[in-house]
Amino acid sequence: MLPGLSSAVEATIRKVLTPSVTALGAAHYERADYHLLSGRDEQAQALGVHLLSGPEMMVAVTDRERPVGDIRVQTGGTGNLLFLDNRAWQGSLSASVRILGNDCAVIFNDIGRGGYVMLHDVFMRSHRQFLFWGRGSTAVGCNIELEGQDQGVVIGDDALIANGVWIRNYNMHALHDLTTGEAIGRPPTTTVLERHVWLGQDALLLNCGRIGAGAVVGARSLVTRPVPPCVIVAGSPAQVRREQVSWGRDTYRMTAAERVALGWPDTPGG
């Protein structure tokens, strides 16, 4: 699928790249031409990739000349991959990435004309973890933290993430019943945002599993369970407030393309 991607991570990613998440299937990547760079190459630095410390990392791009923004990486393990599909890149990406484990992958697809992605901290704490960033997805300010081997975070196509959002795929610390000693917390799980999801300001996704396509998460909501498609959830803990609803990037309307991407007619009542 991608050069330098471990077979275990590739198998996991192939399972989650469904039409409800992205229009980019495995064939999209197999048709691309890749240029492989070292994380410390001057050419990688010219593109905006800076390996600040740690073992070497592979950087794969689809355009050797088109800058991507400012990506600062620290590694603690080996066999890690940063992939950037920048052949049509017309946006700006700023990210700080920390990778402690081995054989992890951070995959950024085209963020679109004028698109902006600010990832204050991407912290990958274990082995064979991955972040997949879908085409056209944007973020004003987001933090992502991953625990557990073979786990990941998937941001589907055309997501809109407001400032102050945290996405964690685990409960941070162990919870135990003091009488029985039973573990009552949930293990880490891959977090998937399906396509066209809007996360409001200061939302916290905590080991929630999946956010359905077209869903809206209200500002300062705490999401600890899966969210169905095309609903608004809000509160702490978040609860469904309205069904059969979604959002548009335009201030006043949804486009026909946005409706069709969610499986709805291109016009209301159509």
Q: What is the mean pLDDT of the chain?
A: 93
* Cα gap 22→37, rounded to integer Å: 27
Higher per-residue confidence, 167 vs 26: 167
- Assigned domain for 227 exists: yes
- Assigned domain for 269 exists: no
Range of the domain at 204: 7-261
- Assigned domain for 23 exists: yes
- Assigned domain for 268 exists: no
Over residues 114-119, mean pLDDT: 92
- Assigned domain for 270 exists: no
Q: What is the pLDDT of residue 28?
A: 81
- Assigned domain for 245 exists: yes
- Assigned domain for 167 exists: yes
* Cα gap 147→140, rounded to integer Å: 24
- Lowest mean per-residue pLDDT among 109-118, 145-154, 189-198, 214-223: 109-118
Q: What is the pLDDT of residue 90?
A: 87
CATH number, position 64:
2.160.10.10
The string of DSSP codes covering 174-210 is: --B-TTT--B-SPPP--EEE-SS-EE-TT-EEES--E
Q: What is the pLDDT of residue 171?
A: 87
Q: Rounded to an integer, what is the distance from CA 201 to the centroid of its chain?
A: 17
Domain count, the chain: 1
> pTM for this one?
0.94
Q: What is the pLDDT of residues 80-93, one digit of tens each?
A: 999 999 988 888 99
Please return the burial class of 129, using the count of CB atoms within 10 Å of its CB with bins 0-12, 13-18 and 19+: buried
The 3-state DSSP class for residue 49 equals strand
- Assigned domain for 203 exists: yes
Q: Among the residues of the chain, which ranges form H helices?
A: 7-16, 26-30, 42-47, 256-261
Residue 156 to residues 18, 127, 137, 230: CA-CA distances in angstroms? 10, 22, 7, 14
